Structure 1
């Protein structure tokens, strides 16, 4: 198929389910078809947590070197006689596992002895049963050769891979110290430096040999790594010894730390083949993080079936990151009976993950209550003067509003209306629908345009309002996802103007006014009418004060008159101090005759009541209230003084008589005297 674009919407997507592989059977009977499927994230995060992964450059020193590595060895080197000298590297020092990228460094001194056999500098072979060489660096017939065998593989792989690189060098047999450095990027590139100079390769001095991958053989799981010779398990002896001198032999490669291996392998974007069964005529294998897959088959139909099983996995939640990745297929075809291979055109499929569409959040903010008078309502007020519309988009002009609705509660009367300037609608291309229940603004517009229109909407009433409270609610709707905004409720409290009635005495006398600072501060400010109300509230206080002063004056006047009348009775007309004493006794007798009740005394004879004295006393009080009877009062006082002495003697006689007649009843007629006492 021609390169196409595929939009990813799920975490499990077959990306080659429409691929078709066509070969010309008349000209080429397919013997082997190999494909390399590569996933490239194009710099997009694959979710491998690489910042938590770490690697180090590990150098394995097989033969020590001098302090100055750039100079030819002087003292530290190892000599090999080519017969029995060999060094076995323990697995604790070096396991023999080589990465795709590694570096070999050494100093070597070798003499040509016309030996056509292999002389191994180092060698990795099977520890048991087989003599297979996995990795080796050796000298043979004037060539420096590097062997890297692919595998072992568990399947029957009929492919050949680059396995041996050979450089024809004159330096290896001149019996001089030379520095050799090999920078390996298996299997793509290997560079050789001799004495820090890059060796220039030609068809005459450089060769590459391909070979089959090593198969898996039971019992050959373990290997042995040696320096100076090679271990042959079948013969159970060392063979192919090196004859010369070596110094500073080391292998350096970048290795991940133990906790980094799982980090690299566990990624959130990768290719997978989860639902396929292996067969003898097919092969599929991937690298550690499953970004590269190798597939092979012996027919185009089977190769096509393998491609259709490849799945792109994305375990991000939600799927992402947004952007494009590429998956490429490089296919090599070999026809039956031919030694050449043909490269088919590279197939590329682009995987696109679109930016998720998030609902735009639009928020309204503004005043929620007004306290206004009827006069202001008659003139009109802007309901949403301080309205602000916010959105979580980058730019406000990128977010459109489809409509806004204003609802009234209660409904508008015929004398109320909502006013909208018409010029705003011509500018912003909005439509309005005004009813007694509210207003609807419709039409696509930016946030700024809707905010401008809403800020100029006014409410007015041309007659006395019927309601003290009126509510307006505003809600808008976004145009992209039809998401409603929050609701703003504006409450208008209308203060009716009350004309104060004329004050009258009855109404004011029934009210209590308290001049309290705290209460006065909490009262609502009535504006210009406040001074008149204050003056009105002072009249009741003045009236109360005047009444109180009047009552106090009457009481004082009464007390003064009473005191003056008492002073007249005590005036010195008699000329003696005994008269004053008799006056006190007379007044005491008056109090006794008026207060004492005969029923309050028990077992005691009732004293005789002098009716004549009572009458004279009454005349005395009557005369005290008039200045014209002053002379009569004086004559009565002289008479009263004589009577007082006689009354005193009568009291003593009555007390003696009482002791003799205790047994008599209180109301016995014999104990009661009637009429005035005879003098």
Structure 2
């Protein structure tokens, strides 16, 4: 059927083809066009984008044929005709043969270029499908190439420079010009220019003229770098051109090139502050005197300086201060509680700071913690920040504000000794107790008043009153105050007489107790920290200076290079530096040598302001120059990571726990260094609004990036920290659950701490154990490894958990929480021998019944004996017996072949072995020695050295010592087994 269909279709096609071919082709095709030229030739006009392939004609391209039948009436195609001198890049493609429609397209492989040729003219003719094809008359086609925005504008120069004088607005600073390679009017023309640098005071018009939008000044910024782009009418933008616009200042008196900011990398040593600064003096006269004072602001860091690496207690230890000093304002919770209700200020980077409101809050120091009586030798010291009203009338009516006061507890209001602020004076009162009748009516110094400006400046200062009666010395910020009539006043008084009305005294911090009224009064308003008293001796001046030693300051090392007539000076804290000279050049040279240094390994990051005041005396007229201001941005240092490692599970026998078990015997504390976060972002985030202009400087981020790379390079070369580089100042052992002091407690190795003269202190509460004060990491490890846990009722204990954590710099750097579990072992390890096998099995079984499973509360659970465990132990002991007997048999068999008997040498020697149950051949001495060596490895390898030593510490070893002595005397032993029974 299918074959018949195919044959039918083939015949039909051949018939039609023959008929078509046989039809006559009488008429020529005709190209249809609405537009004709003067000669009547059809005309087509079209356009094409230079990056496209189809021509858009103004009318359809179509041809018709008047023939009625066959291929003669069908339009087969079109041909293009062009002048001989040029080829046509276009071709005509048929769309519909019956309708004769077609389209003009770009030949494959051909490309158009508007910039090279815009118009094309060619002719087309249509031809039919007749046996002898007939062609139409030709039609003319005009094709216009349309431009595409191919090219972006370009500037002839990539960099331009311009200068402007400060304080002036210019109509034209510089003119920029760009070109475009596109040839069309639309895309080859620059339509506009644009300043793309944000926030700059400049603009550019469509003609490329750059001008400033406001008056600029040299002290704001010396130069600006702006970027400008050009835009053509098609919307394409050029690459930016950079324009460096320099601000030329009008000559003004003052410092130039004094940096507005500098970054300081921790541990980088001294860094010069203004190495390129120079002084412009525009007046014509020659200066007679030039004075300069540079000030480094550090009052906002800690207690007036970046010195608070460790707590005051730790600083005292590190400075070698006497350990007998009593802290009257201890941090709450360290064995003391009288300061727990005092308001506290920030103390995260240092020690605890207490706030006194001047109205309600004060604390009494318990007599149990400090005996109130003072004698002729002592030192009282404290950190204090205090302010006072500027109102003159208020100063005149100022009340006494007691920092410390020892007064009558009842009956009377006498002050025995006190330290207080009274207006603009710092006052110390010491009323002597009457020693005998002859001393009662003798006037002696009793009150010392110092008029000092530091009292009310609202800044932290350290005050130390050191008494060797009748001499009293006042140290302010570590420096001895030299007394004179302008700053010191001493008042005499009688000694305090004994009174039957008074039965006790009260020592109060922050106010004074009025025993007669039975209330507090004369409250202190301000901040206190580190208030301490050293009794019966005075603190050395070296220690007081050390406690005030500032870790950051200005530095100058060019004293030997100064010219005659020039002088320099520092204040006591090395934060103010002064230069006086008659020569501007000399002042500039010395200023270049002033540096900033911060010797802390981990300084407090942040901003330190620097300002510089300068005056010039010329023709007896003093000119004050504008204040020069800068700041030092101390960057975040590499951060240490404290890691505690060691065994997390400790086994302890009941005997060990009762005697005291070391629970941290193998712990170690490691320090690793790393950079926290993205260094560049930290620098930018730390910068506040006052330095926002500096962030606009394109070089700022590059500088930060260089600093980061420098820090990373230094970190790679120093992956670990020296042992004494980072001191620990606290380790806390937390008991979970809390300790029950009735049956358990923890102890520190006091003998080790004393032997190595350690600075550590410890305190135990039911929460656990705390070890404090700054000391080396190895010392902390040694003490922690010696900490013992004692449980007097260890039979009831199942397990006990402790969490150890350590910190440095008052919690600034904290270690991981190291959890250790102490598991109580309620049976001693079994050491079976061959002859005692049966007895050992019985002993194990009895031990299993006696040592019942222990529940989670540490109590013995007698209701669930572990029968399976007993069976396993019996099987193991049986196997052990078999291996021992097999080993003995094999050894004897070997020695029978190689044994050398020595009997006659020492016949008079016997071994008293009446207690032994095993009978051995007396001639086989070597076999016994070898068996001892065989038995040793049979012990449980899991037993630690500490477990073995603990097991034998309490046993009676006298028998072993006697046996050893007998062996040494007898040498090689021979046995006489005549009295032994098998």
Bigger relative CO (Cα 8 Å, ≥ 6 apart): 1
More helix by share: 1
Larger Cα-atom Rg: 1
Q: Which TM-score tier does this pair reach, normalised by the shorter chain?
A: under 0.3
